[in-house]
Amino acid sequence: MRALAIAHRAGNSLAGLHEANQLGVDVIECDVHHHRGRLEVRHLKTAGPLPFLWDRWELSSASAPRLGLSELLEAGKHGTMFMLDLKGRRTAAAQSVARLLHEEGHHAPVLCCGRYWRSIDVLARIPYVLPVLSARTRGELARLQVRVAQGDPVHGVSVHRQLLDRDTVARLSRHVEVVMTWPVNDIATLDRMLGLDVNGIISDEPAVLAELLTR
């Protein structure tokens, strides 16, 4: 079976959502922040009291309109599968996501992932939520391998590509349905990750996702 084509950050804007749907990807990923009681979908981070949002190479006014998770889910009701990447080291976002899904009657399968696993555990109690545990460092990967080997009900894992080799993917695949990796932003990296038997490709590049969709 072809590996899942996952459009990284495509759900962080309605334009990105539309483009990913036009391409026909399997999953649209978005970054979910809990900020001042509201669930916002964005990659940029807040800067405390300072009037801007930031990333390493980008600044934006804090007063600019921000996409809410509720708006995104409404726009994607035609069948999009989302992967909600929960940000932050508190469970408030997960609890708010659980309430929102219940209030909006969203019962389609949705992937929820994050590096703070307590948040994912909160959402894993919902029958239609597919929990995905993320690992960015070698220490996180070591803990992840122990966690999934214990038999906890985890649908998938998302592991940075630099941490993966064939043996690691094989060990993880014995316990979860999907082993995802990121970033996969060129064809050579795509070939290398598929060669490790990864079955979820997270990419920022439409050309890479399109290539995967043809295979």
C-alpha–C-alpha distance, residues 154 and 15, integer Å:
31
pLDDT band at 55 (very low <50, low <70, confident <90, very high): very low
Do 7 and 209 form a contact (C-beta atoms < 8 A)? yes
Question: Could you give all domains of the chain from N- to C-terminal order, each with its CATH number?
Answer: 4-214 (3.20.20.190)
47's CB contacts (< 8 A; 6+ apart) are 53, 54, 62
The reported pLDDT for the residue numbered 75 is 65
3-state secondary structure at position 68: strand
Examine the pLDDT at 104 and tell me if it is beyond 90. no
In the prediction, which pLDDT does 67 show?
63
For the segment 102-106, the average pLDDT, to the nearest whole number, is 82
Write 205-213 long-range contacts (CB < 8 A, 24+): 206/7, 206/19, 206/23, 208/184, 209/5, 209/6, 209/7, 209/23, 209/25, 210/23, 211/187, 212/2, 212/3, 212/5, 213/2, 213/5, 213/23, 213/24, 213/25
pTM across the whole model: 0.86
